[in-house]
């Protein structure tokens, strides 16, 4: 696929996305939506429930087509899933019948890497996420946090240029989540991938990202974009006590709160 090196990793330009509801009406999920993610940038997207965050990611993968506007990945219009995109969702995508290492090695083998090289690489990635010694276990024998780490190794081994993450850690307990945040930032800083991280959790967004996009209650448009100028490397578990972190979070929350209230009212109206 073409890669125009000087272009942003992801661009959504005046994108609208409409769906047909079961009773045949048209519902606008995204309207005049603009977003640009630079190479190596970590962008978080927050917004009220149901506003259109996942739809944004689906447009980047090509699973959803824009009803209007344009979506570009690495400078080229999206025609299908770009080979250098990796994913992380709330539920991990581990094969339950495969051992840990066979899960991690699946991507490289699929793309034709010789077995010996692929297994060596998988062992390396498992070491990076602190799972050496667990290679031959099966997913059901692991804790939720360990499964997530396998999942990260499974994603990063493919050396994605773009990482799309949809509430990847929301099912984890608070401590495991904190560890996963550190792990993610460490892997990201080495991989230099561009990340779009969708979350409901504003503190998570501010702690991780370079930029936070606040979306309006559906139909989603970009309400505001905040640059998070906290220095890196960040210690996510400690950053929440930093005054600058608190100030940035408070400013964004004031903006987001109105949309959350509007979103809740909109949901109530939809079910009434
Ligand atoms: N394939 C589809 N067909 C019809 N409507 C859809 C489809 N996909 C999403 N929608 C609607 O588009 C709107 C946005 O959905 P989306 O999943 O993008 O929101 P979200 O912000 O990710 O939600 P949440 O915060 O609850 O995860 C919702 O009203 C949803 O019902």
Is residue 218 domain-resident?
A: yes
pLDDT of residue 4: 60
User: What is the DSSP annotation of 50-108?
Assistant: TSSHHHHHHHHHTSS--SEEEEEETTEE--S--TTEEEEESS----TTS-HHHHHHHHH
In this structure, the residue with its CA closest to atom 30 of ligand 1 is 50
Residue 110 has pLDDT above 70, yes or no: yes
Is residue 150 domain-resident?
A: no
Query: Domain range spanning residue 237?
Result: 1-84+210-272
pLDDT of residue 68: 96
Neighbours of 3 (CB within 10 A): 12
Per-residue pLDDT tens over the stretch 187-196:
899 888 999 9
Q: What does the alpha-carbon distance between residue 12 and residue 215 come to, in Å, rounded to a whole number?
A: 14
Q: How far is the CA of 261 from the centre of ligand 1 (A)?
A: 18
Q: What's the number of domains the chain is made of? A: 1
Residue 219 has pLDDT above 90, yes or no: no
Q: Mean of the pLDDT values across residues 208-213?
A: 97
Name the strand (E) or helix (H) holding 248: helix 243-271
Band of residue 89 on the pLDDT scale cut at 50, 70, 90? confident
For residue 56, the ligand 1 atom closest to its alpha carbon is 18
Q: How far is the CA of 188 from the centre of ligand 1 (A)?
A: 28
Is residue 177 domain-resident?
A: no
pLDDT of residue 91: 82
Are the C-beta atoms of 33 and 69 separated by less than 8 Å? yes
Are the C-beta atoms of 226 and 44 separated by less than 8 Å? no
pLDDT of residue 248: 97
Instruction: Please provide the average confidence, as pLDDT, over all residues in the chain.
Output: 91
Q: Mean of the pLDDT values across residues 190-211?
A: 94
Are the C-beta atoms of 152 and 184 separated by less than 8 Å? yes
Q: Give the CATH number for residue 226.
A: 3.40.50
Residues of the chain with pLDDT > 70: what percent?
Answer: 97
pLDDT of residue 134: 96
pLDDT of residue 45: 97
pLDDT of residue 24: 87
Where does ligand 1 bind, in terms of residues with CB under 6 Å? 19, 29, 47, 49-55, 218
Residue 5 has pLDDT above 80, yes or no: no
Name the strand (E) or helix (H) holding 117: helix 115-128
DSSP conformation class of 228:
-
Band of residue 272 on the pLDDT scale cut at 50, 70, 90? low
In this structure, the residue with its CA closest to atom 9 of ligand 1 is 55
pLDDT of residue 2: 53
Is residue 183 domain-resident?
A: no
Is residue 123 domain-resident?
A: no
User: Residue 268 has which token pair?
Assistant: 């109530």
User: Residue 51 has which token pair?
Assistant: 């506003």
Band of residue 212 on the pLDDT scale cut at 50, 70, 90? very high
Is residue 101 domain-resident?
A: no
For residue 49, the ligand 1 atom closest to its alpha carbon is 25
pLDDT of residue 180: 86
Residue 237 has pLDDT above 90, yes or no: no
Q: How far is the CA of 198 from the centre of ligand 1 (A)?
A: 13
Is residue 234 domain-resident?
A: yes
Band of residue 81 on the pLDDT scale cut at 50, 70, 90? confident
Is residue 27 domain-resident?
A: yes
In this structure, the residue with its CA closest to atom 7 of ligand 1 is 19
Are the C-beta atoms of 183 and 207 separated by less than 8 Å? no
Sheet architecture: strand order including 162-166 = 85-89, 162-166, 194-198, 42-46, 211-215, 222-227
């Amino acid at each position: 696929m073409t890669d125009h090196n000087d272009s942003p990793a992801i661009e959504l330009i005046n994108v609208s996305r409409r769906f047909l509801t079961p009773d045949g009406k048209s519902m606008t999920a995204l309207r005049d939506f603009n977003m640009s993610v630079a190479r190596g940038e970590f962008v978080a997207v927050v917004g009220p429930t149901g506003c259109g965050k996942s739809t944004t990611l689906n447009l980047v993968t090509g699973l959803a087509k824009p009803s209007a506007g344009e979506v570009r990945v690495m400078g080229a219009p999206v025609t299908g899933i770009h080979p250098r995109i990796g994913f992380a969702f709330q539920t991990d995508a581990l094969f339950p019948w495969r051992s840990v290492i066979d899960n991690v090695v699946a991507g490289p083998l699929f793309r034709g890497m010789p077995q010996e090289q692929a297994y060596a690489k998988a062992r390396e990635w498992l070491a990076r996420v602190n799972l050496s010694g667990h290679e031959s276990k099966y997913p059901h024998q692991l804790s939720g946090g360990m499964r997530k780490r396998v999942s990260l190794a499974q994603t990063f081994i493919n050396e994605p240029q773009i990482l799309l993450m949809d509430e990847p850690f929301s099912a984890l307990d608070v401590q495991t989540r904190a560890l996963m945040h550190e792990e993610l930032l460490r892997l990201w800083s080495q991989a230099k991938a561009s990340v779009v991280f969708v979350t409901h959790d504003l503190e998570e967004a501010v702690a991780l990202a370079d930029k936070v996009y606040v979306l309006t209650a559906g139909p989603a448009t970009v309400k505001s974009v905040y640059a998070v100028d906290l220095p890196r490397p960040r210690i996510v578990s400690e950053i929440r006590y930093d005054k600058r972190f608190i100030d940035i979070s408070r400013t964004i929350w004031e903006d987001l709160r109105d949309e959350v209230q509007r979103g809740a009212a909109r949901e109530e109206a939809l079910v009434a």
